[in-house]
């Protein structure tokens, strides 16, 4: 199997060079150290290391292929025009680092002094360009590594919550190969890093809820600070979920667990304070902290393309925001609907949507089981997914954007989907086992009488 993966990697390298002769080789060489570090960490895992390594390699290869095709055929505008925006402003930031003040105007225009969302992506792009030159494919390949690395993290989250390898493996497979997760992490977009950081944040929170670990404490701090630079409102939702989880605790409260959680919260607070969270919070609250601003953001989304919806919805008041939730929630979870697939871009989502629609009952079953039996343990993920789902249901007014931002929640939805699937499958296996036992018992009663002698419907044994 490893030989086959090596052969596929070599073929992928040849394909990349053929489709992108100028940028393909530098981009591939640039990501090799990142891929090697990720593979080394995966192989050191105590559970299913070989399985997860193979999943990771396959996930990287498919993302590299998709990313190369998008780059070679100039499909960035078709799939995600923001990649071109990050390319331009990231290159502008690189020029500013080189002393060119002309580009500083563009960078300040994008970042808004830190109050805008996504300015951290400019630093990612500029840092990559500093090393390898202006190469969008290198940015895409870095995102491919992060997208593929999310699968082992999802495995660890599922295993931490439910010590069932069937649940964990299936969660990793869905995270690695679900079409929208592959698509968004194959481009020069911030979605790949955001999903990875969200998964790391939740895993670190779950691990720290049971025992203190410097490794996971550092991972949580870095992930939270990075999220603030990529999508600030997601950062605040994660902080709320993490804080609530530490207050509630995953186990019965003791003096030791209380001291551990207090130390963790104080450390995270000091790190965020040093990072300047209070300043960013003040700026962002002034810029976005009103329902009127939410209404403007939603109207921009609903009128920006032909796939807008709910143009008459008004979220400028709390009552209006609440009334908009059912419509927004239905689009966030289920769109694009079959009757909306009038273009090629929407039509190519149909296979994924069929799979996702079929998963909804399993999602509900998994949620029911989790809330009934493991509410305390899974509290951080439940709080985060609920709050972000409701936030997006208010903000979103565009089918394409809703489809794209649903990917930020899919990793956590998959935990519940796989739980529901395993429960359903185990119930069917149990029912099949009982039927087999009943048939076996029935045949035994026909063959043998109640006194242990042969039944009358069988001839005596020959002589």
pLDDT value at residue 457: 41
Residue 458 has pLDDT above 50, yes or no: no
pLDDT value at residue 308: 76
Identify the band that residue 274 occupies on the pLDDT scale cut at 50, 70 and 90. Answer: confident
**What are phi and psi for residue 413, nearest 5 degrees?**
-60, -40
Which residue has 């020029």 as its token pair?
95
Of 97, 149, 150, 84, the residue nearest 123 (C-alpha): 97
Residues 286-319: tens digit of each pLDDT:
767 777 887 887 887 777 656 778 778 888 888 8
Least confident of 200-209, 273-282, 372-381, 394-403: 273-282
pLDDT value at residue 58: 97
Distance CA 53, CA 36 (A): 11
Residues 111-158: tens digit of each pLDDT:
876 666 789 999 999 999 999 999 999 999 999 999 999 999 999 999
Domain positions in the chain: 198-289, 300-433
Q: Judge whether 191 and 183 are in contact, CB under 8 Å.
A: no
- Rounded to an integer, the average pLDDT of 253-276 is 80
Helix ranges (DSSP H) in 249-373: 255-275, 277-288, 291-303, 318-334, 344-347, 350-373
Which residue has 């993490």 as its token pair?
242
Residue 419 has pLDDT above 80, yes or no: yes
Q: What's the Rg (C-alpha) of the chain?
A: 26
What distance lies between CA 89 and its chain's CA centroid?
25
Q: Before 336, cis peptide (omega within 30)?
A: yes
Residue 179 has pLDDT above 70, yes or no: yes
Rounded to the nearest 10 degrees, the angle between the axes of helix 399-447 and helix 379-395 is 140
What distance lies between CA 452 and its chain's CA centroid?
61
For residue 35, count other CB atoms closer than 10 A to its CB.
21
Distance CA 391, CA 288 (A): 13
The DSSP letter of residue 455 is: P
Residues 319-367: tens digit of each pLDDT:
888 888 899 899 999 988 888 777 788 889 999 999 999 999 999 999 9
Residue 309 CA neighbour count, 13 Å, CB half: 21
Residue 1 has pLDDT above 60, yes or no: yes
Residue 462 has pLDDT above 70, yes or no: no
Enter the pTM of the model.
0.91
Which residue has 């925006």 as its token pair?
85
Name the percent of the chain in helix, strand, coil, to the closest 5. 80, 0, 20
Q: Judge whether 331 and 399 are in contact, CB under 8 Å.
A: yes
Q: DSSP assignment of 384-453, as one string? A: HHHHHHHHHHHH--BHHHHHHHHHHHHHHHHHHHHHHHHHHHHHHHHHHHHHHHHHHHHHHHHHB-TTSS
For residue 114, count other CB atoms closer than 10 A to its CB.
15
- Rounded to an integer, the average pLDDT of 157-181 is 95
Residue 463 has pLDDT above 90, yes or no: no
Residue 332 CA neighbour count, 13 Å, CB half: 25
Distance CA 447, CA 463 (A): 19
Distance CA 264, CA 257 (A): 11
Which residues, other chains included, contact 451 with Cβ-Cβ below 8 Å and sequence gap of 6+?
none
Of 315, 227, 329, 319, the residue nearest 277 (C-alpha): 227
For residue 390, count other CB atoms closer than 10 A to its CB.
17
400: left (phi over 0), alpha (psi -120 to 50) or beta: alpha
Of 98, 102, 67, 104, the residue nearest 83 (C-alpha): 67
Residue 84 CA neighbour count, 13 Å, CB half: 10
Distance CA 82, CA 88 (A): 10
Distance CA 353, CA 341 (A): 11
**What are phi and psi for residue 254, nearest 5 degrees?**
-130, 170
- Rounded to an integer, the average pLDDT of 164-181 is 96
Helix ranges (DSSP H) in 44-178: 49-72, 76-80, 82-97, 104-111, 119-132, 136-161, 165-177
Angle among Cα 211, 212, 216 to the nearest 5 degrees reads 105
**What are phi and psi for residue 102, nearest 5 degrees?**
-60, -40
Q: 282 or 463: whose pLDDT is higher?
A: 282
> Reduced to 3 states, what is the DSSP secondary structure of residue 308?
strand
Give the burial class of 122: count Cβ atoms within 10 A of its Cβ; 0-12 exposed, 13-18 middle, 19 or more buried. Answer: buried
Residue 253 has pLDDT above 70, yes or no: no
């Amino acid at each position: 199997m490893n030989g086959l993966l090596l052969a596929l990697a070599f073929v992928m390298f040849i394909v990349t060079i053929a489709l992108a002769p100028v940028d393909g080789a530098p981009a591939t060489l640039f990501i090799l150290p990142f891929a090697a570090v990720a593979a080394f960490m995966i192989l050191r895992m105590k559970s299913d290391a070989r399985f997860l390594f193979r999943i990771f390699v396959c996930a990287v290869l498919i993302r590299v292929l998709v990313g190369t095709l998008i780059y070679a055929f100039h499909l960035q505008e078709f799939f995600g025009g923001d990649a071109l925006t990050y390319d331009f402003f990231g290159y502008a930031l690189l020029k500013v680092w080189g002393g060119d003040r002309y580009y500083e105007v563009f960078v300040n225009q994008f970042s808004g002094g830190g109050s805008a969302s996504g300015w951290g992506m400019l630093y990612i792009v500029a840092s990559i360009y500093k090393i390898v030159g202006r190469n969008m494919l290198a940015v895409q390949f870095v995102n491919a590594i992060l997208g593929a690395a999310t699968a082992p993290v999802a495995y660890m989250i599922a295993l931490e919550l439910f010590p069932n390898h069937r649940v964990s493996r299936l969660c990793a497979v869905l995270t690695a190969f679900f079409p929208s997760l592959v698509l968004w992490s194959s481009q020069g977009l911030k979605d790949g890093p955001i999903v990875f950081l969200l998964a790391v944040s939740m895993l670190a929170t779950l691990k720290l809820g049971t025992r203190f670990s410097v490794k996971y404490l550092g991972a949580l701090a870095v992930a939270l600070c990075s999220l603030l630079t990529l999508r600030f409102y997601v950062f605040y939702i994660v902080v709320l979920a993490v804080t609530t989880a530490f207050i509630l605790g995953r186990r019965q409260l003791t003096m030791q667990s209380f001291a551990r959680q207090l130390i963790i919260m104080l450390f995270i607070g000091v790190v965020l304070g040093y990072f300047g969270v209070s300043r960013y919070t003040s700026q962002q609250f002034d810029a976005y902290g009103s329902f009127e601003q939410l209404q403007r953001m939603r109207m921009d989304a609903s009128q920006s393309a032909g796939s807008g919806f709910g143009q008459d919805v008004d979220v400028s008041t709390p009552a209006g925001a609440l009334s908009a939730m059912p419509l927004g929630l239905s689009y966030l979870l289920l769109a694009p609907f079959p009757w909306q697939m009038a273009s090629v871009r929407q039509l190519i989502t149909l296979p994924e949507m069929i799979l996702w629609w079929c998963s909804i009952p399993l999602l509900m079953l998994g949620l029911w089981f989790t809330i009934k039996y493991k509410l305390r343990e899974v509290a951080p993920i439940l709080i985060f997914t609920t709050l972000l789902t409701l936030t997006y249901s208010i903000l979103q007014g565009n089918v394409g954007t809703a489809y794209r931002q649903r990917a930020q929640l899919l990793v956590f939805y998959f935990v519940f989907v796989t739980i529901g699937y395993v429960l359903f499958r185990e119930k069917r296996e149990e029912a099949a086992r009982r039927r087999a036992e009943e048939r076996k018992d029935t045949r035994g009663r026909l063959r043998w009488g109640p006194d242990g002698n042969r039944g009358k419907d069988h001839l005596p044994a020959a002589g």
